[in-house]
Chains A and B, each alone.
Chain A
Amino acid sequence: MRRRFWFLMGLAVLAAAVGAVGALTAPAPAQGPVYSVWLVESSRFMGVPFGAFMPDRAFVPGSDSKTNNINTVDLPVNVGVIKGGKEVILYDSGWKQQDYFKMTGTQHWAALPDQLKLLGINAADVTKIVIGHGHWDHAGQLMDFPNAILYVQREELRGIEWALNYPHPRIAAVNTSPGGCARTPACGYPPKTLDEIYGKVLSGKAVIVDGEMEIGPGLKIHPAFRAHTAGSQLLEAPTTIGKLMFGSDAYSSWEGIRDWMIANPQQTDTVQQFLAYEKCYKVTGGYQNCVAAHEPLSYTDKYPLTKNSWVGPNGSRMAEISLAPGEKSRKP
Protein backbone atom coordinates (compact mmCIF):
# COMPACT_ATOMS: atom_id res chain seq x y z
CA MET A 1 0.00 0.00 0.00
CA ARG A 2 2.77 2.36 0.97
CA ARG A 3 4.77 1.45 -2.13
CA ARG A 4 1.77 2.14 -4.29
CA PHE A 5 1.33 5.51 -2.60
CA TRP A 6 4.91 6.54 -3.25
CA PHE A 7 4.68 5.31 -6.81
CA LEU A 8 1.64 7.43 -7.47
CA MET A 9 3.29 10.38 -5.77
CA GLY A 10 6.27 9.98 -8.03
CA LEU A 11 4.07 10.00 -11.11
CA ALA A 12 2.31 13.13 -9.90
CA VAL A 13 5.62 14.91 -9.30
CA LEU A 14 6.86 13.92 -12.74
CA ALA A 15 3.71 15.19 -14.40
CA ALA A 16 3.92 18.45 -12.47
CA ALA A 17 7.54 18.90 -13.46
CA VAL A 18 6.78 18.38 -17.13
CA GLY A 19 3.90 20.80 -16.93
CA ALA A 20 6.01 23.43 -15.20
CA VAL A 21 8.78 23.15 -17.78
CA GLY A 22 6.24 23.54 -20.55
CA ALA A 23 4.69 26.56 -18.93
CA LEU A 24 8.04 28.23 -18.30
CA THR A 25 9.44 27.74 -21.79
CA ALA A 26 6.41 28.71 -23.80
CA PRO A 27 5.70 32.46 -23.87
CA ALA A 28 2.32 33.22 -22.45
CA PRO A 29 -0.17 33.87 -25.23
CA ALA A 30 -1.19 37.49 -25.31
CA GLN A 31 -4.43 38.48 -23.69
CA GLY A 32 -6.90 40.32 -25.87
CA PRO A 33 -6.67 40.79 -29.63
CA VAL A 34 -3.75 39.23 -31.45
CA TYR A 35 -2.19 40.01 -34.80
CA SER A 36 -0.66 38.11 -37.67
CA VAL A 37 2.96 39.06 -38.21
CA TRP A 38 5.38 38.62 -41.05
CA LEU A 39 8.88 39.88 -41.62
CA VAL A 40 10.13 40.89 -45.06
CA GLU A 41 13.62 41.70 -46.23
CA SER A 42 13.67 45.02 -48.04
CA SER A 43 17.25 44.51 -49.20
CA ARG A 44 20.55 43.16 -47.98
CA PHE A 45 23.87 44.90 -47.38
CA MET A 46 26.52 42.43 -48.43
CA GLY A 47 29.92 41.85 -46.94
CA VAL A 48 29.78 44.30 -44.04
CA PRO A 49 32.73 43.98 -41.66
CA PHE A 50 31.31 42.40 -38.53
CA GLY A 51 33.24 44.79 -36.32
CA ALA A 52 31.66 47.78 -38.05
CA PHE A 53 28.25 46.36 -37.18
CA MET A 54 29.07 45.07 -33.71
CA PRO A 55 32.35 46.27 -32.22
CA ASP A 56 32.47 43.31 -29.81
CA ARG A 57 32.33 40.94 -32.79
CA ALA A 58 35.29 42.46 -34.64
CA PHE A 59 37.21 39.89 -36.63
CA VAL A 60 40.47 38.78 -35.09
CA PRO A 61 42.59 36.87 -37.62
CA GLY A 62 43.46 33.44 -36.31
CA SER A 63 41.00 33.63 -33.43
CA ASP A 64 39.31 30.42 -32.31
CA SER A 65 36.61 32.31 -30.50
CA LYS A 66 33.18 32.09 -32.13
CA THR A 67 32.71 35.72 -31.15
CA ASN A 68 35.58 36.98 -33.26
CA ASN A 69 36.14 34.54 -36.09
CA ILE A 70 33.72 35.98 -38.64
CA ASN A 71 35.12 38.63 -40.95
CA THR A 72 32.06 39.95 -42.76
CA VAL A 73 28.31 39.46 -42.56
CA ASP A 74 25.34 40.17 -44.79
CA LEU A 75 22.82 42.44 -43.14
CA PRO A 76 19.16 42.27 -44.11
CA VAL A 77 16.96 45.35 -43.82
CA ASN A 78 13.91 43.86 -42.13
CA VAL A 79 10.42 45.34 -42.27
CA GLY A 80 7.64 44.18 -39.96
CA VAL A 81 4.15 43.53 -41.37
CA ILE A 82 1.40 43.39 -38.75
CA LYS A 83 -2.18 42.57 -39.61
CA GLY A 84 -5.30 42.42 -37.52
CA GLY A 85 -8.92 43.31 -38.20
CA LYS A 86 -8.94 46.05 -40.81
CA GLU A 87 -5.47 47.22 -39.90
CA VAL A 88 -2.25 46.57 -41.75
CA ILE A 89 0.71 48.17 -40.07
CA LEU A 90 4.27 48.33 -41.27
CA TYR A 91 7.07 48.71 -38.81
CA ASP A 92 9.75 50.51 -40.82
CA SER A 93 9.41 50.77 -44.58
CA GLY A 94 12.80 49.88 -46.00
CA TRP A 95 14.09 52.04 -48.81
CA LYS A 96 13.48 52.48 -52.48
CA GLN A 97 16.24 51.41 -54.74
CA GLN A 98 16.34 53.26 -57.97
CA ASP A 99 18.93 52.98 -60.67
CA TYR A 100 20.68 55.89 -59.09
CA PHE A 101 20.70 54.45 -55.65
CA LYS A 102 22.33 51.12 -56.18
CA MET A 103 24.49 51.18 -53.12
CA THR A 104 27.68 49.35 -53.69
CA GLY A 105 27.39 45.86 -52.32
CA THR A 106 23.63 45.93 -51.81
CA GLN A 107 21.61 43.09 -53.25
CA HIS A 108 18.17 41.47 -53.21
CA TRP A 109 16.19 44.67 -53.09
CA ALA A 110 12.49 44.19 -53.73
CA ALA A 111 9.74 46.77 -53.77
CA LEU A 112 7.73 46.53 -50.57
CA PRO A 113 4.37 46.68 -52.38
CA ASP A 114 5.41 43.62 -54.42
CA GLN A 115 6.44 41.75 -51.29
CA LEU A 116 3.17 42.62 -49.57
CA LYS A 117 1.21 41.26 -52.53
CA LEU A 118 2.63 37.83 -51.75
CA LEU A 119 1.07 38.21 -48.31
CA GLY A 120 -2.27 39.05 -49.86
CA ILE A 121 -1.91 42.74 -49.01
CA ASN A 122 -2.24 45.65 -51.40
CA ALA A 123 -0.25 48.83 -50.83
CA ALA A 124 -3.51 50.74 -50.53
CA ASP A 125 -4.53 48.46 -47.63
CA VAL A 126 -1.68 49.63 -45.40
CA THR A 127 -3.25 51.78 -42.71
CA LYS A 128 -0.26 52.74 -40.58
CA ILE A 129 3.51 52.95 -40.84
CA VAL A 130 5.55 53.22 -37.68
CA ILE A 131 9.15 54.12 -38.47
CA GLY A 132 11.54 52.98 -35.76
CA HIS A 133 13.70 55.94 -36.74
CA GLY A 134 14.22 58.22 -39.73
CA HIS A 135 17.35 56.84 -41.36
CA TRP A 136 17.21 56.42 -45.12
CA ASP A 137 17.12 52.61 -45.11
CA HIS A 138 14.16 52.45 -42.71
CA ALA A 139 11.90 55.30 -43.73
CA GLY A 140 11.75 54.96 -47.50
CA GLN A 141 8.88 54.06 -49.83
CA LEU A 142 6.44 56.16 -47.77
CA MET A 143 4.84 57.61 -50.88
CA ASP A 144 4.01 54.10 -52.10
CA PHE A 145 1.46 53.76 -49.29
CA PRO A 146 -0.91 56.66 -49.88
CA ASN A 147 -3.47 55.67 -47.25
CA ALA A 148 -1.01 54.93 -44.48
CA ILE A 149 -0.69 57.23 -41.48
CA LEU A 150 2.94 57.73 -40.58
CA TYR A 151 4.00 57.63 -36.92
CA VAL A 152 7.31 59.34 -36.14
CA GLN A 153 8.64 60.69 -32.85
CA ARG A 154 8.88 64.46 -32.48
CA GLU A 155 12.19 63.82 -30.79
CA GLU A 156 13.54 62.33 -34.02
CA LEU A 157 12.80 65.51 -35.96
CA ARG A 158 14.19 67.62 -33.12
CA GLY A 159 17.37 65.57 -33.10
CA ILE A 160 18.02 66.18 -36.77
CA GLU A 161 17.33 69.90 -36.38
CA TRP A 162 19.59 70.17 -33.34
CA ALA A 163 22.45 68.53 -35.18
CA LEU A 164 22.07 70.67 -38.29
CA ASN A 165 21.95 73.91 -36.33
CA TYR A 166 24.73 73.14 -33.88
CA PRO A 167 27.40 75.83 -34.05
CA HIS A 168 30.27 73.49 -34.77
CA PRO A 169 30.95 72.37 -38.32
CA ARG A 170 31.90 68.81 -37.37
CA ILE A 171 28.74 68.23 -35.40
CA ALA A 172 26.49 69.98 -37.92
CA ALA A 173 28.12 68.15 -40.83
CA VAL A 174 25.85 66.07 -43.00
CA ASN A 175 28.93 64.50 -44.48
CA THR A 176 32.58 64.30 -43.52
CA SER A 177 34.95 63.00 -46.14
CA PRO A 178 33.86 62.53 -49.74
CA GLY A 179 32.06 59.23 -49.86
CA GLY A 180 30.55 59.00 -46.44
CA CYS A 181 29.07 60.70 -43.43
CA ALA A 182 30.92 58.59 -40.88
CA ARG A 183 28.20 58.68 -38.24
CA THR A 184 28.05 62.41 -37.66
CA PRO A 185 24.97 63.47 -35.66
CA ALA A 186 23.17 64.37 -38.89
CA CYS A 187 24.32 61.31 -40.81
CA GLY A 188 21.83 59.02 -42.49
CA TYR A 189 19.13 61.56 -43.38
CA PRO A 190 19.20 62.34 -47.09
CA PRO A 191 16.92 65.23 -48.07
CA LYS A 192 14.66 62.84 -49.94
CA THR A 193 13.85 60.82 -46.82
CA LEU A 194 12.92 63.94 -44.91
CA ASP A 195 10.92 65.16 -47.88
CA GLU A 196 8.84 61.98 -47.79
CA ILE A 197 8.14 62.41 -44.09
CA TYR A 198 7.25 66.05 -44.78
CA GLY A 199 4.94 64.96 -47.58
CA LYS A 200 3.02 62.75 -45.18
CA VAL A 201 2.65 65.63 -42.73
CA LEU A 202 1.47 68.01 -45.44
CA SER A 203 -1.15 65.55 -46.65
CA GLY A 204 -2.48 65.11 -43.13
CA LYS A 205 -1.26 61.53 -43.02
CA ALA A 206 1.15 61.75 -40.12
CA VAL A 207 1.05 61.59 -36.36
CA ILE A 208 3.94 63.19 -34.55
CA VAL A 209 4.37 61.06 -31.45
CA ASP A 210 5.45 62.31 -28.07
CA GLY A 211 6.79 59.29 -26.22
CA GLU A 212 4.47 56.38 -25.55
CA MET A 213 1.33 55.83 -27.57
CA GLU A 214 -1.21 53.10 -28.19
CA ILE A 215 -2.02 52.99 -31.89
CA GLY A 216 -4.39 50.05 -31.84
CA PRO A 217 -5.67 47.41 -29.40
CA GLY A 218 -2.53 46.01 -27.82
CA LEU A 219 -0.25 47.85 -30.25
CA LYS A 220 1.93 50.16 -28.26
CA ILE A 221 4.73 52.49 -29.25
CA HIS A 222 7.51 52.73 -26.66
CA PRO A 223 10.06 55.53 -26.91
CA ALA A 224 13.68 54.39 -27.05
CA PHE A 225 15.30 57.79 -27.37
CA ARG A 226 18.98 57.65 -28.28
CA ALA A 227 18.95 53.84 -28.35
CA HIS A 228 19.99 54.37 -31.97
CA THR A 229 18.90 57.88 -32.95
CA ALA A 230 17.45 60.78 -31.01
CA GLY A 231 13.86 59.66 -31.53
CA SER A 232 14.03 55.89 -31.88
CA GLN A 233 10.84 54.05 -31.04
CA LEU A 234 9.81 50.44 -30.44
CA LEU A 235 6.50 48.77 -31.24
CA GLU A 236 4.85 46.12 -29.08
CA ALA A 237 2.45 43.72 -30.80
CA PRO A 238 0.45 40.88 -29.23
CA THR A 239 0.38 37.58 -31.09
CA THR A 240 -0.53 33.96 -30.45
CA ILE A 241 3.13 33.26 -29.63
CA GLY A 242 3.26 36.03 -27.08
CA LYS A 243 4.10 39.69 -27.32
CA LEU A 244 6.60 40.75 -29.92
CA MET A 245 8.73 43.86 -29.66
CA PHE A 246 9.92 45.48 -32.88
CA GLY A 247 12.98 47.65 -32.43
CA SER A 248 14.34 48.77 -35.79
CA ASP A 249 17.99 49.68 -35.28
CA ALA A 250 17.72 49.96 -31.51
CA TYR A 251 17.50 46.20 -32.02
CA SER A 252 19.90 45.97 -34.93
CA SER A 253 21.19 42.59 -33.81
CA TRP A 254 19.18 39.85 -32.13
CA GLU A 255 22.38 38.20 -30.96
CA GLY A 256 23.28 41.57 -29.48
CA ILE A 257 20.08 41.55 -27.46
CA ARG A 258 20.67 37.98 -26.38
CA ASP A 259 24.33 38.51 -25.47
CA TRP A 260 24.08 42.12 -24.33
CA MET A 261 26.34 43.63 -26.94
CA ILE A 262 25.86 46.96 -28.67
CA ALA A 263 25.09 46.93 -32.35
CA ASN A 264 25.12 49.43 -35.19
CA PRO A 265 26.16 52.46 -33.17
CA GLN A 266 25.09 55.55 -35.08
CA GLN A 267 23.80 58.45 -33.06
CA THR A 268 23.59 55.87 -30.27
CA ASP A 269 23.81 56.20 -26.54
CA THR A 270 24.81 52.64 -25.74
CA VAL A 271 23.29 52.82 -22.28
CA GLN A 272 19.95 53.66 -23.89
CA GLN A 273 20.38 50.79 -26.31
CA PHE A 274 20.86 48.40 -23.40
CA LEU A 275 17.79 49.85 -21.70
CA ALA A 276 15.89 49.24 -24.92
CA TYR A 277 17.05 45.61 -24.80
CA GLU A 278 15.81 45.42 -21.23
CA LYS A 279 12.44 46.73 -22.34
CA CYS A 280 12.10 43.77 -24.68
CA TYR A 281 12.99 41.32 -21.94
CA LYS A 282 10.45 42.90 -19.61
CA VAL A 283 7.59 43.17 -22.07
CA THR A 284 8.00 39.87 -23.91
CA GLY A 285 9.48 37.75 -21.14
CA GLY A 286 12.86 37.17 -22.74
CA TYR A 287 14.89 37.85 -25.86
CA GLN A 288 13.25 35.34 -28.21
CA ASN A 289 10.48 37.67 -29.32
CA CYS A 290 12.61 40.73 -29.97
CA VAL A 291 12.44 41.59 -33.67
CA ALA A 292 15.75 42.85 -35.01
CA ALA A 293 16.24 45.00 -38.08
CA HIS A 294 19.63 43.80 -39.34
CA GLU A 295 20.26 40.44 -37.68
CA PRO A 296 22.56 38.40 -39.99
CA LEU A 297 20.93 35.16 -38.80
CA SER A 298 17.51 36.33 -39.95
CA TYR A 299 15.42 33.82 -41.88
CA THR A 300 17.36 30.84 -40.51
CA ASP A 301 16.67 28.51 -37.63
CA LYS A 302 19.45 30.20 -35.70
CA TYR A 303 17.08 33.14 -35.21
CA PRO A 304 14.09 30.98 -34.26
CA LEU A 305 11.47 33.71 -34.47
CA THR A 306 12.19 34.07 -38.19
CA LYS A 307 12.85 30.48 -39.20
CA ASN A 308 9.52 29.86 -40.94
CA SER A 309 10.82 31.57 -44.04
CA TRP A 310 10.96 31.42 -47.79
CA VAL A 311 12.55 33.26 -50.67
CA GLY A 312 10.59 36.06 -52.33
CA PRO A 313 11.12 38.49 -55.20
CA ASN A 314 14.70 39.01 -56.36
CA GLY A 315 16.02 36.65 -53.69
CA SER A 316 14.63 38.75 -50.85
CA ARG A 317 13.47 36.65 -47.90
CA MET A 318 10.21 36.61 -46.01
CA ALA A 319 9.15 34.93 -42.80
CA GLU A 320 5.83 34.09 -41.25
CA ILE A 321 6.16 34.73 -37.54
CA SER A 322 2.67 34.27 -36.19
CA LEU A 323 -0.90 33.90 -37.47
CA ALA A 324 -3.96 35.24 -35.76
CA PRO A 325 -6.94 32.85 -35.57
CA GLY A 326 -8.57 32.58 -38.99
CA GLU A 327 -5.56 33.96 -40.89
CA LYS A 328 -4.23 31.65 -43.52
CA SER A 329 -0.59 30.92 -44.01
CA ARG A 330 1.12 32.80 -46.83
CA LYS A 331 4.13 30.54 -46.97
CA PRO A 332 4.27 28.93 -50.42
Chain B
Amino acid sequence: MVRGKPQALGEGGAGVSALIGEPRRSPNVKIFLFSFVLLSLLGVLTLAAVREVVTSPANSRTAHPTLAPPRPPLTPAEEAYALALWPIHNEVKASALKMTLGGLAYKLGELDRGGLKSKVDASSETYRRAAMRIAALTPPASLAQVHEMYVDAVRLYQRSAAEMVRVGGDGRDEHLVVAQPLSMEASEKLLMVGDVLWPTEYRPN
Protein backbone atom coordinates (compact mmCIF):
# COMPACT_ATOMS: atom_id res chain seq x y z
CA MET B 1 0.00 0.00 0.00
CA VAL B 2 1.35 3.34 -0.91
CA ARG B 3 -0.08 6.31 0.91
CA GLY B 4 -0.56 9.52 -0.87
CA LYS B 5 -0.06 8.08 -4.26
CA PRO B 6 -3.13 7.96 -6.37
CA GLN B 7 -3.83 4.67 -7.96
CA ALA B 8 -6.49 3.73 -10.36
CA LEU B 9 -9.31 1.63 -9.11
CA GLY B 10 -9.16 -1.97 -10.09
CA GLU B 11 -5.43 -2.11 -10.07
CA GLY B 12 -4.58 -5.03 -7.88
CA GLY B 13 -7.45 -4.51 -5.53
CA ALA B 14 -6.41 -1.07 -4.83
CA GLY B 15 -9.94 0.27 -4.41
CA VAL B 16 -9.63 0.97 -0.73
CA SER B 17 -6.04 1.85 -1.05
CA ALA B 18 -7.01 4.21 -3.75
CA LEU B 19 -9.51 5.87 -1.45
CA ILE B 20 -7.07 6.08 1.36
CA GLY B 21 -4.51 7.39 -1.01
CA GLU B 22 -6.70 10.10 -2.52
CA PRO B 23 -7.41 13.35 -0.76
CA ARG B 24 -10.88 12.80 1.00
CA ARG B 25 -13.86 14.33 -0.73
CA SER B 26 -15.83 16.44 1.87
CA PRO B 27 -18.70 14.38 3.27
CA ASN B 28 -22.16 15.25 2.02
CA VAL B 29 -22.91 17.72 4.78
CA LYS B 30 -26.39 18.47 3.57
CA ILE B 31 -27.49 14.86 3.72
CA PHE B 32 -25.89 14.43 7.10
CA LEU B 33 -27.55 17.52 8.54
CA PHE B 34 -30.93 16.65 7.09
CA SER B 35 -30.73 13.11 8.43
CA PHE B 36 -29.71 14.38 11.83
CA VAL B 37 -32.64 16.79 12.01
CA LEU B 38 -35.08 14.17 10.79
CA LEU B 39 -33.85 11.59 13.27
CA SER B 40 -34.02 14.14 16.08
CA LEU B 41 -37.60 14.97 15.22
CA LEU B 42 -38.51 11.32 15.06
CA GLY B 43 -36.84 10.81 18.40
CA VAL B 44 -38.86 13.60 19.98
CA LEU B 45 -42.05 12.18 18.50
CA THR B 46 -41.26 8.72 19.83
CA LEU B 47 -40.46 10.05 23.27
CA ALA B 48 -43.70 11.98 23.38
CA ALA B 49 -45.68 8.94 22.27
CA VAL B 50 -44.00 6.74 24.87
CA ARG B 51 -44.75 9.24 27.63
CA GLU B 52 -48.37 9.37 26.58
CA VAL B 53 -48.65 5.61 26.72
CA VAL B 54 -46.83 5.07 30.01
CA THR B 55 -49.53 5.99 32.47
CA SER B 56 -51.37 3.89 34.91
CA PRO B 57 -55.01 4.74 34.53
CA ALA B 58 -57.44 3.15 36.95
CA ASN B 59 -59.05 0.69 34.63
CA SER B 60 -62.79 0.73 34.95
CA ARG B 61 -62.97 -2.49 33.04
CA THR B 62 -60.90 -4.49 35.50
CA ALA B 63 -62.68 -7.26 37.28
CA HIS B 64 -66.27 -6.14 37.39
CA PRO B 65 -67.13 -5.89 41.08
CA THR B 66 -69.70 -8.25 42.36
CA LEU B 67 -72.97 -6.43 42.81
CA ALA B 68 -74.68 -6.62 46.17
CA PRO B 69 -77.12 -9.48 46.33
CA PRO B 70 -80.59 -8.38 45.32
CA ARG B 71 -82.94 -7.56 48.14
CA PRO B 72 -85.67 -10.04 48.89
CA PRO B 73 -88.93 -8.79 47.46
CA LEU B 74 -91.57 -7.31 49.72
CA THR B 75 -94.20 -9.75 50.87
CA PRO B 76 -97.73 -9.15 49.54
CA ALA B 77 -98.71 -7.55 52.84
CA GLU B 78 -95.65 -5.31 52.79
CA GLU B 79 -96.31 -4.40 49.19
CA ALA B 80 -99.89 -3.47 50.00
CA TYR B 81 -98.69 -1.23 52.83
CA ALA B 82 -96.10 0.42 50.57
CA LEU B 83 -98.77 1.08 47.94
CA ALA B 84 -101.13 2.54 50.51
CA LEU B 85 -98.48 4.82 51.99
CA TRP B 86 -97.17 5.99 48.60
CA PRO B 87 -99.81 8.68 47.84
CA ILE B 88 -99.55 9.99 51.41
CA HIS B 89 -95.76 10.07 51.02
CA ASN B 90 -96.07 12.07 47.78
CA GLU B 91 -98.09 14.74 49.55
CA VAL B 92 -95.87 14.84 52.63
CA LYS B 93 -92.77 15.10 50.46
CA ALA B 94 -94.18 17.87 48.28
CA SER B 95 -95.31 19.81 51.35
CA ALA B 96 -91.92 19.43 53.01
CA LEU B 97 -90.26 20.82 49.89
CA LYS B 98 -92.71 23.74 49.74
CA MET B 99 -92.15 24.51 53.41
CA THR B 100 -88.37 24.58 52.97
CA LEU B 101 -88.66 26.67 49.83
CA GLY B 102 -90.89 29.06 51.79
CA GLY B 103 -88.20 29.44 54.41
CA LEU B 104 -85.62 30.01 51.68
CA ALA B 105 -87.72 32.62 49.94
CA TYR B 106 -88.33 34.44 53.22
CA LYS B 107 -84.65 34.40 54.11
CA LEU B 108 -83.76 35.71 50.65
CA GLY B 109 -86.22 38.55 51.00
CA GLU B 110 -88.58 37.24 48.34
CA LEU B 111 -91.42 36.51 50.76
CA ASP B 112 -92.78 38.50 53.64
CA ARG B 113 -93.90 37.12 56.99
CA GLY B 114 -97.49 36.81 55.81
CA GLY B 115 -96.43 34.86 52.73
CA LEU B 116 -94.25 32.59 54.82
CA LYS B 117 -97.11 31.90 57.21
CA SER B 118 -99.43 31.01 54.31
CA LYS B 119 -97.00 28.53 52.89
CA VAL B 120 -96.21 26.92 56.21
CA ASP B 121 -99.89 26.76 57.19
CA ALA B 122 -100.67 24.94 53.93
CA SER B 123 -97.93 22.41 54.64
CA SER B 124 -99.16 22.02 58.22
CA GLU B 125 -102.62 21.12 56.97
CA THR B 126 -101.10 18.44 54.72
CA TYR B 127 -99.15 17.00 57.64
CA ARG B 128 -102.30 16.96 59.79
CA ARG B 129 -104.27 15.06 57.17
CA ALA B 130 -101.34 12.74 56.48
CA ALA B 131 -101.03 11.90 60.18
CA MET B 132 -104.71 10.90 60.25
CA ARG B 133 -104.42 8.75 57.13
CA ILE B 134 -101.26 7.06 58.37
CA ALA B 135 -102.91 6.30 61.70
CA ALA B 136 -105.61 4.45 59.77
CA LEU B 137 -103.09 2.16 58.09
CA THR B 138 -102.34 -1.25 59.51
CA PRO B 139 -98.77 -2.18 58.75
CA PRO B 140 -97.64 -5.81 58.79
CA ALA B 141 -95.57 -6.71 61.84
CA SER B 142 -92.39 -6.72 59.75
CA LEU B 143 -92.93 -3.05 58.93
CA ALA B 144 -93.98 -1.83 62.36
CA GLN B 145 -90.70 -0.02 62.85
CA VAL B 146 -90.87 1.55 59.39
CA HIS B 147 -94.41 2.69 60.09
CA GLU B 148 -93.37 4.27 63.39
CA MET B 149 -90.49 6.00 61.65
CA TYR B 150 -92.86 7.57 59.14
CA VAL B 151 -95.21 8.68 61.92
CA ASP B 152 -92.18 10.27 63.62
CA ALA B 153 -91.18 12.04 60.43
CA VAL B 154 -94.58 13.65 60.04
CA ARG B 155 -94.55 14.73 63.72
CA LEU B 156 -91.14 16.33 63.22
CA TYR B 157 -92.40 18.20 60.17
CA GLN B 158 -95.35 19.43 62.22
CA ARG B 159 -93.02 20.68 64.96
CA SER B 160 -90.82 22.38 62.39
CA ALA B 161 -93.82 24.10 60.86
CA ALA B 162 -95.06 25.25 64.27
CA GLU B 163 -91.68 26.84 64.93
CA MET B 164 -91.54 28.52 61.54
CA VAL B 165 -94.90 30.26 61.87
CA ARG B 166 -93.66 31.94 65.05
CA VAL B 167 -91.63 34.19 62.76
CA GLY B 168 -94.96 35.73 61.82
CA GLY B 169 -95.43 36.76 65.45
CA ASP B 170 -92.12 38.32 66.48
CA GLY B 171 -90.20 38.47 63.20
CA ARG B 172 -87.21 36.64 64.65
CA ASP B 173 -85.27 34.50 62.19
CA GLU B 174 -84.04 32.37 65.07
CA HIS B 175 -87.25 30.38 64.76
CA LEU B 176 -86.14 29.27 61.32
CA VAL B 177 -82.79 28.18 62.70
CA VAL B 178 -84.55 26.09 65.35
CA ALA B 179 -87.02 24.66 62.83
CA GLN B 180 -84.53 23.59 60.17
CA PRO B 181 -82.85 20.69 62.04
CA LEU B 182 -86.29 19.27 62.85
CA SER B 183 -87.17 19.30 59.17
CA MET B 184 -83.80 17.79 58.30
CA GLU B 185 -84.30 14.95 60.76
CA ALA B 186 -87.74 14.31 59.32
CA SER B 187 -86.27 14.25 55.80
CA GLU B 188 -83.72 11.66 56.84
CA LYS B 189 -86.50 9.47 58.19
CA LEU B 190 -88.33 9.74 54.88
CA LEU B 191 -85.20 8.43 53.16
CA MET B 192 -84.90 5.59 55.65
CA VAL B 193 -88.46 4.54 55.02
CA GLY B 194 -88.05 4.98 51.30
CA ASP B 195 -85.02 2.73 51.25
CA VAL B 196 -87.14 -0.10 52.64
CA LEU B 197 -90.38 0.46 50.78
CA TRP B 198 -89.37 2.16 47.54
CA PRO B 199 -85.63 1.54 46.99
CA THR B 200 -85.62 2.93 43.46
CA GLU B 201 -87.34 6.13 44.49
CA TYR B 202 -84.30 8.17 43.49
CA ARG B 203 -82.70 7.18 40.23
CA PRO B 204 -79.36 8.55 38.99
CA ASN B 205 -79.86 12.21 38.27
Contact of B97 among A186, A201, A301 (CB under 8 A): A186
Q: Is the CB of A48 within 8 A of B200?
A: no
Interface residue tally for chain B (C-beta within 8 Å): 57
- Of all chain B residues, which has the CB nearest A133? B205
Q: Is the CB of A164 within 8 A of B94?
A: yes
- Shortest beta-carbon distance, A296 to chain B, in Å? 7
Q: Which of A180-222 contact B (CB under 8 A)?
A: 180-181, 186-192, 194-199, 201-202, 208
SS of B interface (majority): helix
- Shortest beta-carbon distance, A49 to chain B, in Å? 11
CA distance A154 to B110 in the complex (A): 11
Q: A-B contact count, CB below 8 Å?
A: 177
Q: Is the CB of B180 within 8 A of A198?
A: yes
Contact of B67 among A47, A100, A154 (CB under 8 A): A47
Asked if A174 is an interface residue, CB under 8 A from chain B, the answer is yes
Interface residue tally for chain A (C-beta within 8 Å): 75
Determine, out of A59-67, A118-126, A237-245, A306-314, the stretch whose residues face the partner at the interface: A306-314
Q: Is the CB of A199 within 8 A of B57?
A: no
Q: Is the CB of B93 within 8 A of A201?
A: no
User: In the complex, which residues of chain A have a beta carbon less than 8 angstroms from the beta carbon of B194?
Assistant: 100
Contact of A157 among B56, B93, B104 (CB under 8 A): B104
Most buried by A among B96, B192, B199, B204: B204
- Shortest beta-carbon distance, A62 to chain B, in Å? 22
Asked if A136 is an interface residue, CB under 8 A from chain B, the answer is yes
User: B-contacting residues of A (Cβ < 8 Å)?
Assistant: 3-4, 7, 10-11, 14, 18, 45-48, 53, 74-75, 98, 100-105, 107-108, 135-138, 154, 157, 160-161, 164-165, 172-175, 178-181, 186-192, 194-199, 201-202, 208, 249, 264, 266, 294, 296-301, 307-311, 315, 317, 319
